[in-house]
Structure 1
Amino acid sequence: MIQFLIKGILRDKSRSLLPIIVVSLGVFLTVFMSGWMKGVFGDMIDMNANYTMGHVKVMTRAYADNEAQIPNDLALLDVSELISRLEADYSNMEWVRRIQFGGLLDVPDANGETRAQGPAAGRAIDLLTPGSKEAERLNIPKSIVEGRLPEQQGEVLISNEFAERFAVNIGDDISVMGSTMYGSMVVPTFKVCGTINFGMAMLDRGAIIMDITDAEQAFDMIDAAGEVLGYFKSNIYDDELALAVRDSFNLKYSDESDEFAPVMVRLRDEPSLKQYLNMADNMSAMMVMIFVIAMSIVLWNTGLLGGLRRYTEYGVRLALGEEKGHIFRTIIYEAIIIGSIGSVVGSALGIATSYYLQENGIDFSSMMENVTMMMPTVYRAKVSPELFYIGFIPGLLAMTMGNALAGYAIYKRKTAQLFKELEV
């Protein structure tokens, strides 16, 4: 019987073409929007993890309470020993230390006098250790506009925007006016080896990137760090596993009575990121529900119109002795077949579009010049395994529900009226 129904669907285009188009469009939108939202939220989460939060982050309690102020006077001490313990306890993670700092970038002239100054937002990471992934994690190689990565101590990267504004060239000296972790003022001098442009206003206004050992010496932070970040070696954030690591660490090492005791937070603990993660988790389910309801209404109307056109056909079949239940079941079978065809077509279009945007993305940099949040300027979709089946949920469910609601009218047909209809 299935073969018979398929032939009827393929041969009678007026009966199947419109429902297939409607299902395909609905499934396409479901698959594409799911891939787009996962890509957008995923990029925002990965960016914040790579640049600021890590998958988990260790700080002192006092530093965590005043994190926005970057209080290096409350930094972690004996970081080498701490990282050794972390590597022993949580071997499935990679641990890195970072120092953030602020101050003024001072550009000297030929006589060594100040020629220009601008605010600096500095970041010290491990750039010189062989095998370090920090440069790639922050996408520094692809962000270099001129010059190269630091190859020895004393070399730094600065914002390309700052370099153009104050005519700083590769090889020029530049000083950072800041303070040590003990409050003393320092003015260390470095050589500019390259300029960078991350494409984010928050990072490109006076950014300076240096090796962690230079920052340790410049700010009197030997074997100290403001933050120790942990990343899963799979490079994929696992919220449940991060929660287990956080609770395990805090139970073992954290002391609420000691403001300098280490405390660990996970990526989801950051308020704004928690909201994004929750939205990413719920977005697919919300879209499926919305499209199921909307498509069910549309397909119900489509089914009613189709039912009116086939009103005489159903009457003849009932007059010939076919059971109402059998006719209703054939309508459901037809709906499943049409829904499957539409779901396959819509899923293929949705996955193809998502893959194109995953590879190329859409550049919103012109709209984000004054954005202060850490957000990517190029948004991409993400093709995930669930895109291959998520479209079948609204595709099959909506089509079946629509035809079931429309086909219910069959049970209201009265045999006594059939002969009058047939005589006409």
Structure 2
Amino acid sequence: MKITYLAAMAGRNSMRNRRRTLLTFSAVAIVVAAIAFGQAWLGGIVHTIFDNYIRLQAGHIKIYHKAYQEKEQMLPVDLAVEGVSTMGARVARLDGVAEVSPRIRFGGLLSAGERTAFGTGLALVPETESRVMKLSGLIAEGRYLTGAERGILLGIRLAESLGVARGDTVAIITRTSRGAMSAMGFEVVGLISSGIGALDRRSFYVTLPAAHRLIGLEDSATELVVMLEDHNTSREVAREIGSVLREMGVDEWYVAVPWQGQGEFSSAVASVLVSVGIVTSIFFFVGGLTIFNTMLMSVFERTREIGMMRALGLKAGGIICLFLLEALVIASIGGVCGAVVGSGVALCLQSTGIPLGGAMENVSFPIGNVLHPRWSPRQPLYAFIFGLVMAMAAAVYPAHRASRLVPSECLRAI
């Protein structure tokens, strides 16, 4: 029997029982839409976490003392990179480098009146970090740091624990690079609300010149963060920076490490990818099961119809081909509609974002207050192909089984 005749019959059958067709169509469309949007949602989570880690901590490349990474959790300020002005200027001239910013990470006891709290400090160059960390966009109250002032930005939860507000004075007590104790007062100029619990509860920010006076460093930093025009070139640029360090005669002490080689960052990315993989698998499993069950039900309830077609002379191969064509027609239309709906929702939310409120504050990954889905054309394509394959696969077994039944037995079925 010609395939064109079977295709025409499949089209008529699809329109004849509209309830059954609508059920199958809806199952495929809903699953494809959910998977298309789900992939964009998960892509947004991965991109947000990656972007926050890069901006707030890892950079695309870090230059630091070779012994620093082993003791990074202790925030040692005695293992600093010296001569960061000269080094930063030379690195900034390399192709592909967008920004070079010195930072000092240090721990300290913050005191305000009778209240105290331990915090993790980051000393920075305000002008450069306004383009790298973009803290100015996270300020909930007050203003951003400027120049070499003795101002301080506090995480909003840290400020609450200290009972301070904008304009109050906070003392920082810490160790200098020589191991002595040092203290200095700072005026609270702003409060940071990132939606990232670890930052809002423990982090504070001061200018690099003020930190130099507090810690006893001069033209030094615990790390030199390098941002690139393309993060995919990080390994190549890191090798070029290594050559610069050799030319300066400091490669014995300092090393340039791309983001892929930074232990804490690599572990975090691996954990995120594993979590995303598990959630994606659940999406596909549940979606596939839904389509499979719907198609099975649709085919099995047509036993009498199959017997009638067999009695009229339609061969077993024709039965299988007919049901596959019906599944192809319905799944194709449902898949296209689902892909369009899922992509439309993802694209709308990509620009506006999904407000998360404080839901992510206690999550170990830096996600923040707003999540923006990350849409790409392959997401609806993969979802459409998946829906089509599952619908076809679900039609094969019952159609093959039904095609082997004796016509008289099919006609007696209820």
Q: CA deviation at 1:93?
A: 4.4
Q: Does 1:396 align with 2:388?
A: yes
Instruction: State how far apart, in whole Å, the 2-side matches of 1:374 and 1:8 are.
Output: 52
What aligned pairs does 1:346-385 form with structure 2 within 5 A after superposition? 346-355=338-347, 357-358=349-350, 359-363=352-356, 365=358, 368-369=361-362, 374-385=366-377
Pairing partner for 1:274 from 259, 263, 269: 269
The one-letter code sitting in structure 2 at the alignment partner of 1:23 is V
What aligned pairs does 1:38-187 form with structure 2 within 5 A after superposition? 38-107=43-112, 116-127=115-126, 129=127, 132=128, 134-135=129-130, 137-154=132-149, 155-187=151-183
Q: Give the unaligned 5+ runs of structure 2.
A: none
Local SS of the residue matching 2:78:
helix
- For 1:29, the equivalent position in structure 2 comes to 34
Instruction: State how far apart, in whole Å, the 2-side matches of 1:420 and 1:62 are.
Output: 78
- For 1:111, the equivalent position in structure 2 comes to none
Deviates more, 1:372-381 or 1:337-346: 372-381
- Residues 43/309 of structure 1: CA separation in 2 closer, same or farther (3 Å cut): farther
Local SS of the residue matching 1:122:
strand
Instruction: State how far apart, in whole Å, the 2-side matches of 1:419 and 1:96 are.
Output: 80
Q: CA deviation at 1:272?
A: 2.8
Instruction: State how far apart, in whole Å, the 2-side matches of 1:152 and 1:135 are.
Output: 12
Q: CA deviation at 1:314?
A: 2.2
- For 1:412, the equivalent position in structure 2 comes to 404
Instruction: State how far apart, in whole Å, the 1-side matches of 2:410 and 2:178 are.
Output: 100
Q: Does 1:330 align with 2:317?
A: no
Pairing partner for 1:225 from 218, 221, 230: 221
Q: CA deviation at 1:400?
A: 0.9
Q: CA deviation at 1:89?
A: 3.8
Give me the TM-score of the superposition, normalised by structure 2: 0.82
Give me the TM-score of the superposition, normalised by structure 1: 0.80
What are the superposed Cα offsets for residues 64-123 of structure 1, whole Å, 9 maximum, x if unpaired?
A: 11111111110111223333343344425433221111112233xxxxxx6544323211
- For 2:257, the equivalent position in structure 1 comes to 264
Pairing partner for 2:333 from 331, 341, 354: 341
Q: Is the 8 A contact 1:295 1:399 kept in 2?
A: no
Instruction: State how far apart, in whole Å, the 1-side matches of 2:409 and 2:159 are.
Output: 90
Deviates more, 1:75-84 or 1:261-270: 261-270
Q: What is the number of residues matched between the two proteins?
A: 401
Instruction: State how far apart, in whole Å, the 2-side matches of 1:284 and 1:268 are.
Output: 26
User: What is the percentage of aligned positions where both structures have the same residue?
Assistant: 22
Instruction: State how far apart, in whole Å, the 2-side matches of 1:95 and 1:309 are.
Output: 75
Q: Does 1:202 align with 2:198?
A: yes
The one-letter code sitting in structure 2 at the alignment partner of 1:56 is I
How large is the Cα RMSD of the aligned pairs?
Answer: 3.5
Q: Does 1:286 align with 2:278?
A: no
Q: CA deviation at 1:338?
A: 0.9
The one-letter code sitting in structure 1 at the alignment partner of 2:254 is A
Q: Is the 8 A contact 1:62 1:74 kept in 2?
A: yes
